[in-house]
Structure 1
Amino acid sequence: MLNSKNIWLNNKFYTFALGYLFQSLSQSLYFIAFPLFIYDKTNSALSMSAMAVAETVTQIALGPFIGTIIDRFKRKRVIVIGLILQITLLLFILVLLELNILETWMIFVIGSLVAGLQATVKNAQFTIIPQVFPDQKLEADAGITSIHTATLMFGGAISGLIIALISPIYSFLIVVIMLLITLITQSKLVIPDLIVSKKKNNFLKDTKDGFDYIFKNKNLIILIVIFSLSNLADNGIAPVLLFHLKNNLLLSDQQVGITMSVAGVGLFIGSVIASKLKKTSAGNLIFYFILVNNIGLTLFLLPGWWPILVGQFVFHFGGIVANIAKSVIIQTIVPNELLGRVSGTMRILDQGTQPISLALLGGVAASNGAYMSFVVMFCLTIISTFVLFLSSIRRLDLSVNKQSL
């Protein structure tokens, strides 16, 4: 049923989603097993932290160039090669370990390469959605997000069980098997070729064109401002909330665990609900659900545990729908031949706000308490909501295939 209105009954999407599920599960296992492997090898918490920094820096530094690669070559080929290289590197670690010649610097190099390849595959998958599902972008984005949030909710438990049974290093074999399943399913996708100009610029000029397009596009600039402010408020919330729950509310570990897990429920339900909202313009979806996000944040300011519990659900429910709508806007207004570069650059901007948010909100919480951090978050989201209310983004309509700039 290739043309079914229900995206989950679309054979192409089912194939794509199945591969994405195993890819997400593989990354969930890798993100736990790899740091544990580094610790077993080095007996150093500093090495674990340094590897995490190296992975993030690699993804940020390579982001624009990854986008250029995706836009210059067939995207299915980029996905397939990216998956093959990940599998090869993980098997290479096992071979080096078996030969007893694996050095710490080798682990850092291979880990950084794997991080770059993971970012490449995810960016390429983002760019093929408007090619493969041009009339169901919202449903496809929401479906993929629901898979991602489901693996956030359950992937940790599955990964912990696997690692407990067979050790961190040999968990890499399970990661390889999952990536092989992803490779098989993604290889079966039929992706229409892009119709682009035959004129070829040099690689750096193509990369610069991506930046130029973003900064000449008013709608993309507005999205960057809105979500940079929103991400500054959102990305640092987890440690502040944990501090508030333990230090101010004196909750038990069980209550803290329940509170944090409610976020995953909100994310999952939000991703499911988003696919039902196609009749609402994408800009209004962002506006309405950032307002919902703000309501959740307001509940954090109320005394007691129950407002926090409800606020966690509402906060993450609103945030995920707004982010799905943002993805659809980007896929709609950006020419497909530039989508890799634009999405790669905007992902960098999203990632770049995380350390700033953690430092800002953590610093405020340390000096003035968690409630003041919540106030700062609320002010940032109110500003982003006000900018969105005054902008042209709200008039962008999902029913239009390409928006005029």
Structure 2
Amino acid sequence: MISILKNRNFFLLLSGKLVSLLGNSIYHISLIWYVLSLPGEENGKILTWVMVAGLVPAVVLGGFIGGFVDRYNKKKIIVYSDILSGITALVLAFLLNQQLLTPIHLLLGTCILSISTSALSIAVRSVLPEILEEAELQAANASNQFIERLTSLLGLLFGGILVSFLSIQTIFLFNGISFLVSSLCEMFIQYIPTAKSHPLTDRSSHFRDDFQQIFKFLFQNKDILTLMFIFTFVNLLWDPLFMIVVPYTLKTEFAVTPLQFGAIEAALGLGFCLAAIYFSRHPAFLHHHSVLFYSILGVNSLIILFAIPIMFYPFFTGLKHTPIYFVIALILAGVFSAALNIAVATHLQKIIPANLRGKFYGVSTSIAQGLIPLSGVVMGSFIGKIHSYVFFVISCGLVYMVLLFVPAVTRITKDLYKIKQQDYA
């Protein structure tokens, strides 16, 4: 991993991404804290719509952004994406300073940041084969993913610390500056496009053919399709809990400090990182087909354990160590989440034909995340009206029902490991 950093272009790209993602993570936690600190009883609903605004553009426009990245200069897209993000964050800081910031501004700003961040991520993954030798790609991808996890973890931790000592306006300002510094690093990348742009009509035709091809493959491999829908189902139930219900509950019912809030938010990522390091050294641990079933069961059970203080709120609010309990529960959940994601990702790489991988990951991501905004809106419309533990009981109860009473879950985790990779035309 260290040797790949000697490549000047990759070092500049990774440095820019490090600064950009760190600023974005700090912005995310400060934004949640700011929204939940707004006066009135509607802050839960406002947080819901802000989180939806951060998801919908990337989900809906992901395929079109990918086509745009293929047609134009990837270095310029990377640089301009960070510049756009920087300007957006600086405008939000200015509006907040002038006491003009409204929820509408937050929604628009979050939408713009979602689009620019999505374009940046796709462009970075696409440009790596063009600035590196083939032998360097594996190390480069490993470094890239490590940076993504690390910046998310550090951003949540530093965000909690910064919110304790600095104003939200100052944090927005620093975030805008971080994006501009990132774009400055990326300007020095030496890059010559290796492929010419394709006419728009040809790209539209290819885009339609890609979808037809991948869906034909999925319907011929029902176990893979079933696995996709299981992941869609659990994401539909789990993600809004952590995006909306957990922050709302911690802030309004447990009155955690910004530092405690940042530590709890970062705990899931910390568990994931620690487990990823362990599994990279002991890969055989994830080879058994039962890992898929028990990983989902483990995450779901730990979410229920996390919710125990919420269920017995009067007793736990007076305890000083309740935030530590939350942190431990989420670290363990992160371990099971890492086992689940790494096992599935590794096995899919083995069984998905090479000529379909890009199309598969694009379609599966859109399907898995496409309904999350809808479930977020549903939960957000009831938050503050019913006890928070109800969300955990219903969501985790439905996941248990699918795991324990739908035979297909156990069957596909066995059958998937019997599938051999083959080319698909």
Q: 1:208–1:357: structure 2 CA closer, same or farther, 3 Å change rule?
A: same
Contact 1:223–1:326 (8 Å) recurs in 2: no
Q: CA deviation at 1:388?
A: 5.3
The reply to whether residue 268 of structure 1 matches residue 268 of structure 2 is no
Q: CA deviation at 1:159?
A: 0.9
Q: 1:328–1:368: structure 2 CA closer, same or farther, 3 Å change rule?
A: closer
CA-to-partner distance for each residue in 1:307-340, whole Å, 9 max, x for gaps? 978963541231231365378679982479xx5x
Q: What is residue 160 of structure 1 aligned with on the other side?
A: 160
Q: CA deviation at 1:80?
A: 1.4
Give, in whole Å, the separation in 2 of the partners of 1:126 and 1:175: 23
Matches within 5 A, 1:232-311: 232-233=233-234, 236-237=237-238, 263-273=268-278, 290=292, 293-294=295-296, 296=298
Matches within 5 A, 1:1-400: 13-37=10-34, 44-45=42-43, 46-96=45-95, 104-131=103-130, 132=132, 134-135=134-135, 138-190=138-190, 193-195=193-195, 198=198, 200-201=200-201, 204-205=204-205, 207-218=207-218, 223=224, 225-233=226-234, 236-237=237-238, 263-273=268-278, 290=292, 293-294=295-296, 296=298, 312=333, 314-322=335-343, 324-325=345-346, 333-334=354-355, 339=358, 343-354=361-372, 372-373=397-398, 375-376=400-401, 378-379=403-404, 383-384=408-409, 386-387=411-412, 389-391=414-416, 394-396=419-421
Question: What is the one-letter code of the residue matched to 1:293?
Answer: S
Give, in whole Å, the separation in 1 of the partners of 2:188 and 2:166: 31
SS, match of residue 170 in structure 1: helix
Q: 1:380–1:167: structure 2 CA closer, same or farther, 3 Å change rule?
A: farther
Contact 1:263–1:312 (8 Å) recurs in 2: yes
CA-to-partner distance for each residue in 1:154-192, whole Å, 9 max, x for gaps? 322201222333311221221122223322343444557
Give the share of equivalent positions with the same residue, in percent. Answer: 17
* More displaced stretch, 309-318 vs 60-69: 309-318
Contact 1:133–1:140 (8 Å) recurs in 2: no
Give, in whole Å, the separation in 2 of the partners of 1:364 and 1:42: 24
TM-score, normalization by structure 1: 0.70
Give, in whole Å, the separation in 2 of the partners of 1:289 and 1:79: 37
Contact 2:88–2:176 (8 Å) recurs in 1: no
Q: 1:10–1:197: structure 2 CA closer, same or farther, 3 Å change rule?
A: closer
Question: What is the one-letter code of the residue matched to 2:181?
Answer: I
Contact 2:157–2:263 (8 Å) recurs in 1: no
Contact 1:33–1:168 (8 Å) recurs in 2: yes
Task: Give the unaligned 5+ runs of structure 1.
Answer: 247-252, 398-402
SS, match of residue 169 in structure 1: helix
Question: What is the one-letter code of the residue matched to 1:21?
Answer: L
Cα RMSD for the two superposed structures: 5.1
The count of aligned residue pairs is 382
Contact 2:355–2:424 (8 Å) recurs in 1: no
SS, match of residue 169 in structure 2: coil
Give, in whole Å, the separation in 2 of the partners of 1:213 and 1:387: 23
Contact 1:123–1:343 (8 Å) recurs in 2: no
Contact 1:17–1:144 (8 Å) recurs in 2: yes
